[in-house]
Homo-oligomer: A and B are copies of this chain.
Amino acid sequence: MTVEEQVRAARVASRTLASLPRARKDEALELIAEALRRRAGEILAENAEDVALARANKLGAALVDRLYLDEDRLRETARSVHEVAALDDPVGEIQEGRRLANGLELTRVRVPLGVVAVVYEARPNVTVDAAALCLKSGNAVVLRGGSAAKHSNRMLAEVVQGAIIEAGLPAEAVAFIAGPREVLLQLVTLKDLIDVVIPRGGEELKELLSAHSRVPVIAAAGGNCHVYVDAAADLDMALAITVNAKCQRPGVCNAAETLLVHHDVAAAFLPRVVAELTRRGVELAVDRITAELVPDPRLKRANRTHYETEFLDLKMAVRVVGSLDEAIDHVTTFGSGHSEAIVTGDLEAAQRFTREVDAAVVYVNASTRFTDGGQFGLGAEMGISTQKLHARGPISLRELTCQKYVAWGDGQVRS
């Protein structure tokens, strides 16, 4: 089958999926989880080929680690499918409804998007995770994995499709696309067949898709996140939050990259936080005032680039601000609209920060690290979106749906 034929078949299958009751979808998911356990040997054998090829091609250790599967990782993947089955079905939710003056009963109902394309890179578990989320939300899925994981992906797709057939659902609901970059570029021109494309990978992949896709894109975004320590902050709390937001897992999008400190507490707070962050191996780039308050030779001087950078590493920029306004201005100028935190005991400052900072998630007295579908009680997700249209925040089951109005009448005509 050509790519277009595969996608067309997925579109036909999507009509079946859209009407499925939850029990049928959950059954399919449990069969996928079971098949992953049962066929672990075959999967790991295919994965070993990818890993061997990657090593032979001298791919980096980080990439090889992303590729690599073992019993534990496979068990974890199966468990996450089981968890998706346990989530509420988003489809069929009546979002609102009323009887109009003319007697029409109008409801707004949550329905699947239709066909979701997921484009990813080295991690083979995305094959399974994406298929599970799309199935649960009643969507057909077109999977396009990276070439480095091609054996693993093909095998995992086969396992998923086998389970779907076992569940009595159309195997075409999970389409697996392989082939060179041209195939990907062809895929994202099929705007009448695919409803949304979700890239899961680096900036390069996102750029490629946003430049070439005719299909709407929802992209998991990077995060240039801030912790602002207000004049009225509890400084012990501020220290704990700053350290957690920076150090608990520095390589992820909801880690903080810049610390803003109100001038009134700078002298009391900065020596403590600099000592603690430095002790934990964080490299700091600081403004002039901080450098004066904390004369530590290990501190670099910050320039504009530091404030613009998502380090994804044990690095942090620091700046003293004269007011809440200046803090909000800094966040507005440099923030990427992901996760922003204020530490304060002052209600007005908290209210202004939550209202005026334009981001997917705004925190008062909590670490930015909570921005996550699981933490928010939304279950698994495909990353955090910082775009404003359709999806803002975790891209979870709900973001894989849209709405439909249904109007029940008894002969109403418009006059």
Contacts and interface: CB of A to CB of B under 8 A. Distances in A.
A114 B375 contact: no
A302 B201 CA distance: 49
Contact of A410 (B100, B248, B365, B367): B365
B18 A356 contact: yes
Contact of A412 (B19, B366, B403): B366
A241 interface: yes
A369 B404 CA distance: 16
B361 A405 contact: yes
A227 to B, nearest CB: 11
B363 A409 contact: yes
B408 A365 contact: yes
A411 B366 contact: yes
A100 B406 contact: no
Given A100-B377, A402-B389, A405-B376, A411 B240 contact: yes
Describe A's contact surface by its main secondary structure: mixed
Nearest to A343: B411
- Taken together, the copies of this chain in the complex come to 2
- Interface size class for chain A? 35 or more
A130 to B, nearest CB: 18
Interface in A358-415: 358-367, 369-371, 375-377, 387-390, 392-393, 402-415
A350 B345 CA distance: 56
Contact of A240 (B18, B359, B377, B413): B413
Contacts of A364: 406-409
A403 B218 CA distance: 15
Given A218-B389, A366-B412, 6 more contacts: A98-B377, A364-B406, A366-B409, A369-B413, A370-B407, A389-B389
24 contacts: A18-B356, A19-B355, A100-B375, A106-B376, A106-B377, A108-B393, A111-B358, A113-B388, A195-B389, A216-B387, A244-B413, A350-B408, A358-B404, A360-B404, A364-B408, A365-B409, A367-B414, A369-B413, A370-B407, A371-B405, A392-B402, A392-B403, A392-B404, A393-B403
